[in-house]
Structure 1
């Protein structure tokens, strides 16, 4: 019996060490090296999960994105995906800016992990606030001028990749157009599979544009 207990204790100790290594061993990710079409596919899927209130599915899709595009390890990708998914659903339940801002702490945690692995020294606080700001502009789009969402989306990428905002405006415009299609269809006839295919294509163009814009 004592041998069994010792074996179990040893296994648990090794598992704990593996988790700690996974979480805290420093790794560097080349932020500019991502697959635009795969990011677009996953973003389309995550939008569907978000609007269908499928928390678990959104979490799994975010985990896949973090593993395949940010090259995060399994444990870390699950932790960071939790922060991102939780922020999204905290925001979703909000009714006004003070409610929306409750998502900011999780966004800061999310971007802090991304920053710690990134080869680009972006400002975590600024990136988190820019992320939240485009969420708010999108939610309150009726109160904003045309082009505000395009620019808000571009400003986030400009900070993450430390490039002039003008260089990533096409990315913002195409991504905003995809959002507009989803919103308009949801408010009228409903979003069909054909609509989702068009949204995915616009996102594909958007992320391809970003990939070109941020190359050194």
Structure 2
């Protein structure tokens, strides 16, 4: 429980999720899939309040989606969307009264921000705004809130990506202080998101 309340999509602990996502990103870029899975289990469990077993299943789907997305430039976006569609369908079965979404549309928006981040990361798109907008489109759809309410959360998450991208270019050293900056931006992002969607 978090603050005596059931975990869920609107009652998550932002610091737990932000910390877990920071570890997941570091593991992703180092292609360390077991630590990635452990962090993903924590993110799914805290973010959606599912049982440990269902959280493991959901985290496995997220892992497989990321593995399909990871190769550059020859990744498999369609397979990544298919795994994320299954993930959102699993979430919806637990939270059909809390979330009203179509798993296909949610997965499309999820992988779209991955695509825009990759363009940004490799210099194929200028400026942060398209990436911020794609996160706003995902958050506002999944949580059914106005885009302006989640724009700061999106902006902070993009800032975290900038720190992450710099860390990757510097060699993915776990002792690099860029990781701490990435984590702080993720914490700020999830705190803002929790304030925007909280019930």
After superposition, where does 1:132-143 map in structure 2 within 5 Å?
A: 132-141=111-120, 142-143=123-124
The change in CA–CA distance for 1:54 and 1:169 in structure 2 (over 3 A counts) is: same
Give the equivalent residue in structure 2 for 1:149: 131
1: distance between equivalents of 2:92 and 2:77? Answer: 23
Q: Does the CA-based 8 Å contact 1:29-1:117 persist in structure 2? A: no
Offset at residue 144 of structure 1 (A)? 2.1
Unmatched 5+ stretches in structure 1: 1-27
Q: Secondary structure at the match of 1:145?
A: coil
1:130 aligns with 2:116: no
Size of the aligned set, in residue pairs, is: 188
Q: Any runs of at least 4 consecutive aligned residues in structure 1 with deviations exceeding 6 A, and if so which?
A: none
- Structure 1 distance, partners of 2:149, 2:42, is 28
Alpha-carbon deviation of 1:102?
Answer: 2.1
Q: Is the 8 A contact 1:123 1:159 kept in 2?
A: no
Partner of 1:180: 162
Query: After the TM superposition, which residues 32-47 of structure 1 pair with which residues of structure 2 at under 5 Å, given as runs?
Result: 32-47=10-25
Normalised TM-score (structure 1): 0.80
Q: Give the whole-Å Cα distance in 2 for the aligned partners of 1:193 and 1:187.
A: 11
Question: Unaligned regions of 5+ residues in structure 2, if any?
Answer: 1-5
Alpha-carbon distance between aligned partners in 2 of 1:154 and 1:85, rounded to the nearest angstrom? 23
Structure richer in helix, relative to its length: 1
2-structure distance, mates of 1:30, 1:45 = 21
Structure with greater Cα Rg: 1
Distance 1:52 1:183 in 2: 12
- Displacement after TM superposition at 1:90 (Å): 0.6
- Secondary structure of the residue that 1:193 maps to in structure 2? coil
The worse-fitting range, judged by mean Cα deviation, of 179-188 and 194-203 is 179-188
Contact in 2 for aligned 1:174/1:205 (Cα 8 Å)? yes
Say what the alpha-carbon RMSD is for the aligned residues: 1.9
Q: CA deviation at 1:110?
A: 0.5
Measured after TM superposition, the shift of residue 210 of structure 1 is 0.6
Asked if 1:206 is matched to 2:189, the reply is yes
Shift of 1:101: 2.2
